[in-house]
Amino acid sequence: MDIILKKHIPLTKRDIHIWKFEIDAAVEDLSVYQTLLNKYEEGRASKFKFSEDRERFLWGRILLKRLLGAYLDENTEAIILNSTSGGKPFLEKKEHQHIQFNVSHSGNIIILGFSRSPIGVDVEMISRQVDIDRVSRNYFSMDERKAIDRVSEESKEIIFFDIWTKKEAVIKGIGKGLGIPLKSFNVLDDEGHVKWKPESKASTSDWYVHYVDVKPAYKAAFATSIEDFELSYFSLNE
């Protein structure tokens, strides 16, 4: 995790930085960093019923604060995060808000995305517990459903999670949480171009969503509104 210790990581207007962290491969103890968390964050952590959820949250928060510190050229202590009622964290200080970020975790993986424009990331462990037919019937667009129907049984899971993480990434990028109907857009464009039509406006907003290679048995994606973005992808375990 040395790279985070670098004082400043520059982020240009076209930059998309995606960071990956494998919890099980962590060299350090989580406890080493726990001092970086404030009372609110500790309180939130203590509410988790299962330790693995708690630890995922804590790691996610710690890494987020460390990285934000590097992007904002500030000490970690100066990074103050607040959360919306929907649980989405945001930087409290106005002068910090030019850095946009998004975090996702699943299983053993944490993904963090940073940009100067709205960004969404999502990672999911491919799990057999999802009722693919049901979820895709109710929440996927027609094209997405067809894409799943077209492939063999064994590949359905992979396609499903590919679509799901992309849709989640877009939704998280738009930032309105689960209020957005998942059916209302399609993530299967070859160029990753997603046209999303907000209910209240006549115009569409353009999103670009791409898959991120994490490790076997996982799917991950990020979504950005920058068309000509430049992607950098880092691992936090090396």
Partner 1 sequence: MGLSDLFLQVAKGEFENEGALAEIDQAQSDSIALVHKNISWSYEELFSRVDKLAAHLQAIGVAPNDIIGVYTDRSTEMMVSILGILKAGAAFLPLDPQYPEERIRFMVEDTGTSLILSQEQYRGTLKNFDANIFFVDSDWNDIETTKDDYQLPEVRTDDLAYIIYTSGSTGTPKGVMITFGNLLSYTVMAVDEYKLTAEDNTLQFGTMNFDVFTEEVFPTFLAGGTLVLRNEASALGGNSFWSFIEKHQISFITLPTAFWHTLCTQLDYEQAKMASSVKLLVFGGEAMSEHMLELWQKYFGSEVRLINTYGPSETTVVVTGFDCQDFDGTKGKVPIGKPFNNVECYILDEELQPCAPGKRGELYIAGPQVAKGYLNRQELTSERFIKNPFNAGRFWIMYKTGDICTYLPDGNIAFEGRNDSQVKLRGLRIELGEIETAINRLDSVKESVVILREDSPGDKKIVAYLVASGESFDPKLIRQELKNVLAGYMIPSAFVPLEKIPLTTNGKVNRRILPPPERKHLASGTDVKLPENTLEETLLGIWENVVNVSPISVEDNFFDIGGHSLIAVQLFDDIRNRIGVDLPLAALFEAPTIRELADYIKGEEDELLTVSASPMVRINEKGTQVPFYCIHGHFGNVLNFAALSRELGKDQPFYGLQGIGFGGVEIPLTRIEEIAERYVREIKAIQSEGPYSLGGYCYGTLVALEVAKQLKRNEDEIAHLVMFDPQPNLYPELLERDVLHDFEDLKKRQRAEIIKNEITGKSILKKAEYFTFRLRDRLISDLYVNGIKFFKKVGRPTGMKLPKILRDVEYTNFVAMNEYNVKGPWEGDIDMIMSKPVVDGYSDQPEDDWSAMATGQVHVHFIEDNGVIAGGEMFKKPYVYKTAEKLKSVLQTKNKDLNYVTSKNGEVKYG
- Contacting positions for partner 1 (CB under 8 A): 23-24, 26, 28-31, 45-56, 59, 85-87, 106-108, 124, 129-131, 134-135, 138-139, 164, 168, 171, 177-179, 182
Instruction: Specify the residue, 139 or 229, whose C-beta has the smaller distance to partner 1.
Output: 139
Instruction: Specify the residue, 55 or 229, whose C-beta has the smaller distance to partner 1.
Output: 55
Angle, vertex CA 207, rays to CA 206 and CA 210, nearest 5: 150
Give the nearest distance from C-beta 169 to partner 1 in angstroms. Answer: 11
Instruction: Specify the residue, 191 or 199, whose C-beta has the smaller distance to partner 1.
Output: 199
The phi, psi pair for 104, rounded to 5°, reads -145, 145
Going by the DSSP 8-state scheme, the letter that residue 73 receives in this structure is T
Listing DSSP states for 171-199 in one string gives HHHHT-GGGS-GGG-----TT-EEEE--T
Going by the DSSP 8-state scheme, the letter that residue 208 receives in this structure is E
> Strand order of the sheet with strand 205-212?
119-125, 218-224, 205-212, 193-196
**Which residue from 146, 148, 147, 116 is spatially nearest to 130, judged by alpha carbons?**
148
Give the nearest distance from C-beta 34 to partner 1 in angstroms. Answer: 9
Give the nearest distance from C-beta 162 to partner 1 in angstroms. Answer: 13
Instruction: Specify the residue, 12 or 129, whose C-beta has the smaller distance to partner 1.
Output: 129
Give the nearest distance from C-beta 71 to partner 1 in angstroms. Answer: 23
Contact between 211 and 18 under an 8 Å Cβ cutoff? The reply is no
Give the nearest distance from C-beta 90 to partner 1 in angstroms. Answer: 15
Instruction: Specify the residue, 138 or 155, whose C-beta has the smaller distance to partner 1.
Output: 138
Give the nearest distance from C-beta 98 to partner 1 in angstroms. Answer: 27
Reported as half-sphere exposure (CB side, CA atoms, 13 A), residue 63 has a value of: 33
User: Distance between CA 38 and CA 46 in Å, rounded?
Assistant: 12
Contact between 114 and 99 under an 8 Å Cβ cutoff? The reply is yes
Instruction: Specify the residue, 48 or 229, whose C-beta has the smaller distance to partner 1.
Output: 48
